[in-house]
Chain A
Amino acid sequence: MKRWIGMIILSIGLIVTAIWGYRQFTEKESLIVQTENNYQRAFHDLTYHVDLLYDKIGTTLALNTKDTLSPQMLEIWQLTSQAQSDVSQLPLGLLPFTKTESFLADIGEFTYHVAIRDLDDEPLSNDESERLSSLYESANEIRKELRTVQHKVFSDQLRWVDVELALANNDREQPNHIIDGFTAVEEYTSGFDESHFHNLSADFPSQQESFQSIDGESISEEKAGRLIREQFDLTDDLEIDLQKSGKGAQLPTYSGSFTHEDQQGYVEITEKGGHILSYMISRDLSEETISLNDAEKKADQLLKEQGFKDVKRLRSSQYDHTGLFQYAVSQDDVWIYPDQILIKVALDTGDVIGFSATDFYRNNRKREIEEPKLSLDEAKKNVSSSLNIEDQHLAIIEDQAGNEVLAYAFFGTLDQDTYRIFIDANTGSEVFVELMHDVENKWG
């Protein structure tokens, strides 16, 4: 009897221990994931901020007017402190990271002093400009190194908690890309870097009423279904999952999704007038058989079918097996940047597999474009003399506050970089400068 009781007590004890142990284990696992997430965020933020820092310094090189230079310097200064804070959150306590930190401190100090001084009395000296370009260059080196480490983190699925353990155990036997990568970063003493982020239509809140040009009668769900069938040549028996948007939507729409052979489609149609806002076709793509140039002809054809007559191409890019084309509508040869249309063409068959006129419908309206007060040559004088101007056109853009402005767009080059500079066509002030970064080296 005693033996039985003993056994029962023992087994209960065992089960309790097992449950307790398992809970300890899952709690520990979840804590490790949370810690890892914090490290990952700090690191990815760091690479991003350094990238942005690089672009901002680059943009600064192309700036001309003091009005834009001071805020730009302040922005770099702010980015620097963000990057410093990112570094401080990484588990690098045991790894020497002093050079990078002192570089960040240097550039922070430099930009802060330029930002707060009166540039009318004391403009940027030649020495300072040179210092800025050398910072730009070394910043690029560090940016590249960080991006390469980041690539390795992704491709080898490295975890920072493991780095921490390796550092704690002083275990340098195994190759550790994160530690090696940071050691490499340390070798570039002089610079960190800055980067980009300027998506014209997306960045600024528009001050104008959205979707005001959409006209027509409200259509029924059944009519929406019919329009989709017509557009994609679908038979009546093919099922379309059609949904009406809820009350949170800015613009009432119908969205339909369907599966046809190997294709999966998704279409958005406005309730008012039944205009096609956008669609996406997803399928497996094979090797390309047509060139990007031929693909653009297909895109042009679709634009015609959809009734877009005067358009200018803003961008064409080949991604894997697709060609992407971005257009802006033009009016009297003025490029209307907010009214954008996107088209994606599959390079294996030449079919259009993506279309979006959402930006066009959101921003389009009747515009009275007045004659610019400044001539092209007068505006050109406001572009930094260090730039070599390659091309220009008149444009309607949205400024930082979201108001539409008539501006001259200048494309200029400085060394290997291309910039797009918008000069207000009436006041001559620099609206903004963009560094055109749309090609990136493969990392690793």
Chain B
Amino acid sequence: MKGKIVKCLMTLMIISAMSHNHWHVSHAFSPQVIQHGATGEDVVELQARLQYLGFFNSQIDGVFGWGTYWALRNFQYEYGMKIDGLAGEQAKNKLVEVTKYHKEFVRQNIEAGRQFTHYGGMNLEDQVKYDSSKTKAKESQQKGTTEQKAPESQNQQTEKNRQESNQITQDGELSTEAPIEPTAVNIPNGFSQNDIQLMAQTVYGEARGEPYEGQVAIASVILNRIQSPIFPDTVSGVIYEPLAFTAVADGQIYLTPDETAKRAVLDAINGWDPTGEAIYYFNPDTATSSWIWSRPQIKRIGKHIFCN
């Protein structure tokens, strides 16, 4: 309790000291060379700084995708650097030199799930799109994580004050702040996170307890079927084809999959196929159909036999 009061007082003092209303400018960038496909806080900063100069026009999401790549290359071109699409020391130093990064502004809006931009020479507040319904939902979700930063007694304060207090801690008083989480993820071209989830549920229902390659193998069979002209051409079409998978027929597909199943699916989508392009598999201990035994067998992985 004592600690809380002290913390509270400190925060209040800091807030009163910071009475003027403007967004703090910070400069961070870890020493890493940031490249295409990277995710995380450095990418958020890179995107924000590139947007500041007008090179980057998409949503700041913390994932170094194609849009960020072209923005960086155009920046390198304009400033006479080597055009390699890598944010190394030279590019980062130049960016820090010629742009400002309003970290807390970016954090606040990313965490609230708002659409916003970070262009230089424009009032920051004018660049935020407030969406009342969405913001509320997001904020209630976030309560758990922000509580640590904002003591309870401050709940009445306006949001702005809370932002100010956060940005102070940013300057080093309390250095334990969580990094800004990206709002997007990398996905293999053509697949949604939800496709991956549906496949993971199937893999988990069919092959939990199998070795890792046995799980990748099930996912590969689903993908090989999508490619095959005699099967449906969607993930859900293949999976929900009547009697195609026992886990679907008995409802085990509705269990929650573990991380291993998800990783196995991702590996399969990215190109690992331990089955040798199989489109069928069966468990020799329980298979009742004689037809399945007549298929040319490719190999056995775990307790399943894979065939053409």
Interface residues of A (CB under 8 A from B): 30, 33-34, 36-38, 40-41, 43-45, 47-49, 51, 55, 147, 150-151, 154, 157, 159, 195-199, 201-203, 243, 245-251, 253, 255, 257, 264, 266, 268, 278, 280, 282, 291-294, 296, 315-320, 323-324, 326, 340, 342, 344, 354, 356, 358-359, 390-391, 411, 413, 416, 418, 434, 436-443
Contacts and interface: CB of A to CB of B under 8 A. Distances in A.
A291 B38 contact: yes
B34 interface: yes
A418 B272 contact: no
Contacts of B225: none
Contact of A317 (B186, B301, B308): B186
B307 A248 contact: yes
B160 to A, nearest CB: 27
A36 B253 CA distance: 11
B207 interface: no
Contact of A199 (B63, B189, B277, B295): B189
A318 B272 contact: no
A294 B32 contact: yes
Contact of B193 (A268, A323, A443): A443
Contacts of A340: 271
Nearest to A251: B276
Nearest to A40: B240
A391 B58 CA distance: 19
B251 interface: yes
B192 A51 contact: yes
Given A33-B250, A441-B61, 17 more contacts: A34-B242, A48-B192, A48-B236, A199-B190, A202-B223, A243-B300, A246-B307, A266-B213, A292-B32, A292-B34, A294-B32, A318-B37, A318-B40, A354-B272, A418-B70, A438-B186, A439-B184
Given A439-B63, A441-B61, A245 B298 contact: yes
Given A203-B227, A243-B299, A436-B66, A356 B271 contact: yes
B164 interface: no
A438 B267 contact: no
A411 B236 CA distance: 31
Contacts of A438: 65-66, 186-189
Given A245-B276, A354-B272, A257 B211 contact: yes
A246 B297 contact: yes
Contacts of A280: 212-213, 216, 267, 272, 274
Main secondary structure of the interface of A (DSSP, over half): mixed
A437 B58 CA distance: 14
Given A247-B297, A248-B296, A442-B193, A354 B267 contact: yes
Contacts of B35: 292-293, 296, 316
A75 B234 CA distance: 15
Given A316-B35, A439-B61, A246 B185 contact: no
B197 A154 contact: yes
Contact of B297 (A196, A248, A296): A248
Contacts of A282: 212-213, 260, 263
A41 B297 CA distance: 30
A342 B189 contact: no
B266 interface: yes
A343 to B, nearest CB: 11
Given A280-B272, A318-B37, A441-B184, A248 B193 contact: no
Contacts of B256: 157
22 contacts: A44-B194, A44-B234, A47-B192, A48-B195, A48-B235, A159-B254, A198-B189, A199-B189, A246-B307, A264-B211, A291-B34, A293-B86, A294-B33, A318-B40, A358-B271, A416-B58, A438-B187, A439-B61, A439-B63, A439-B187, A442-B185, A442-B193
- Of B34, B65, B272, chain A has the most CB atoms within 10 Å of the CB of B272
Report the contact-size class of chain B (Cβ under 8 Å from the partner): 35 or more
Interface in B23-76: 32-40, 57-58, 61, 63, 65-67, 70, 73
Contact of A266 (B186, B189, B211): B211
A45 B237 contact: yes
A323 B300 CA distance: 29
A147 B272 contact: no
A443 B296 contact: no
B34 A441 contact: no
A416 B190 CA distance: 17
Contacts of A440: 184-185, 187, 192-193
A239 to B, nearest CB: 14
A416 B296 contact: no
Contacts of B236: 40-41, 43-45, 48
Interface in B187-214: 187-190, 192-195, 197-198, 201, 211-213
A303 B271 CA distance: 17
A250 B240 contact: no
Nearest to B57: A416
Contacts of B242: 34, 37
A440 B183 CA distance: 9
A318 B194 contact: no
B194 A151 contact: yes
B9 interface: no
B248 interface: yes
B237 A196 contact: no
A296 B34 CA distance: 11
A33 B255 CA distance: 13
B184 A442 contact: yes
B104 interface: no
Nearest to A39: B240
A214 B185 CA distance: 37
B240 A37 contact: yes
Interface string B270-292: 11111011100000000000000
In the complex, the 6 A-B pairs of residues with the closest C-beta atoms, listed nearest first: A248-B296, A44-B236, A41-B240, A282-B212, A291-B32, A418-B66
B222 interface: no
A44 B235 contact: yes
B239 interface: yes
A422 B59 CA distance: 28
